[in-house]
Structure 1
């Protein structure tokens, strides 16, 4: 089943395109890493997916229909984690209960108790990590089938980042919901996400299963004098050369090469950075077919 589908999606502000020709499909049950540099269009894509913006071109569907028809099944957490500093944590839970018909009060109170966050404490007196956990609790208690998170780890210290991601993955394991979280820090997502979308300059460069993407790319190292011939017969994503040595990242699972070349697999961060360095390189997004 496809949870989110965009076709030719674009958003323009006056003369500038924040997102352009965006086509991708997100299958159900995946944890999606939405990666790209600042200004790549990540926030714009998420805002379009929850109806905070209207497309200039193209369309975006959620659960097979228009975005407004599925908002009760979707939760969104913005980068600034909007909370009311003057509210107590209990006040925030009451606010969430009144605004969300699918609200799970037991989940919210149990989660905050497990985290040791007192309900009587004012939000403005909490640490940054605790505020992030309260915000995450509010969106999880909505019991969404699709959760969209915009830079959820921004401005958190390493321990808080780890704790937030651990709590999120526990919720995913419990509910099976689909999650898309944006970041420009690949290391935050490397051990948690299983689907990758790379945005660069407002366009989709890569979209697909992470294991398949890694299996389909190789890093080649060999003599610079032989690099032109190798690069010409393989699909080369990134080409870095010194006077004597060349390093090529290619879209090829098992290239057959001169023994003077070494071949190894790539990591997620290497793959993402290679594509971001070469905006003209792209994998072709494959549509994900809905199962019966």
Structure 2
């Protein structure tokens, strides 16, 4: 379980998170939703220990995130792959850092994603780079997988392949996946729990199916209503 207790984080005069308290339950797929600038990426980076809160506490299974990094796999929004490498070299580079690298999963997924090891990062398409990033992240057997805008700026077919990969690989009850995105319609059927952020505050959270039944709305409609009322 990941927990935020009264967490605030500012960058200069910009309040990214404002007194946020929430729980990411273990063993679920959780959608962290909201428009650009809502505080989603900040939340992910705080969980990863890449930033520290100005106020409040964050815990991963009851411990400081800095002590749990080996349990956290992170797919950043930025393109972090070295352009001079091919996919095989990128995999070699990644596996040296993590004891939980699963070679069998790597061999299986590289075929499932229609990638080849000799593909050079600098010469492949944006969609192929997105799939390569996903490959190198999900081949770890980490209990927590954190994904920051994994669908941003890529074509609809690649989005579908990424979502199918997550569904195929997900270990229900064992693994927690947090997907930070504003592309809600694409992952609506995937998520178990949802957290809607706007301007650094939690606007709505809960079980996705319960919220849909209670409000008789899709998650996209729920987000529009929550932000319309907030404004």
Please give the TM-score of this superposition, normalised by the length of structure 2: 0.95
Find runs of 4+ consecutive structure 1 residues off by over 6 angstroms.
none
**What residue number does 2:225 align with?**
274
**What residue number does 1:234 align with?**
none
**What residue number does 1:192 align with?**
190
Structure 1: distance between partners of 2:118 and 2:219: 42
Structure 2: distance between partners of 1:152 and 1:78: 8
Structure 1: distance between partners of 2:154 and 2:202: 28
Q: Say which SS state the counterpart of residue 117 (structure 2) adopts.
A: coil
Q: State the shift of 1:82 in Å.
A: 1.3
Q: State the shift of 1:14 in Å.
A: 2.4
Structure 2: distance between partners of 1:213 and 1:115: 33
Alignment of 1:1-292 (within 5 A): 3-173=1-171, 176-217=174-215, 265-279=216-230
Unaligned runs of 5+ in 2: none
Q: State the shift of 1:113 in Å.
A: 2.4
Structure 2: distance between partners of 1:212 and 1:174: 19
Q: Which has the higher contact order (CA 8 A, sep 6+)?
A: 2
Q: State the shift of 1:176 in Å.
A: 3.7
Q: 1:175 and 1:110, CA in 2 relative to 1: closer, same or farther beyond 3 A? A: farther
Q: State the shift of 1:175 in Å.
A: 8.0
Q: State the shift of 1:44 in Å.
A: 0.4
Unaligned runs of 5+ in 1: 218-264, 281-292
Q: State the shift of 1:58 in Å.
A: 0.5
Q: State the shift of 1:180 in Å.
A: 0.6
Q: Say which SS state the counterpart of residue 109 (structure 1) adopts.
A: helix
Q: State the shift of 1:189 in Å.
A: 1.5
Determine if contact 2:28/2:173 at 8 Å carries over to the other structure: no
Give me the CA root mean square deviation: 1.4
Q: State the shift of 1:278 in Å.
A: 1.6
Q: Which moved more, 1:73-82 or 1:51-60?
A: 73-82
Post-superposition Cα deviations, 1:169-205, rounded to whole Å, max 9, x if no partner, equal 1111478411111111210121111110000110011
Q: Which structure is larger by alpha-carbon Rg, 1 or 2?
A: 1
Post-superposition Cα deviations, 1:10-55, rounded to whole Å, max 9, x if no partner, equal 1012232111111111111111111111111110010000001010
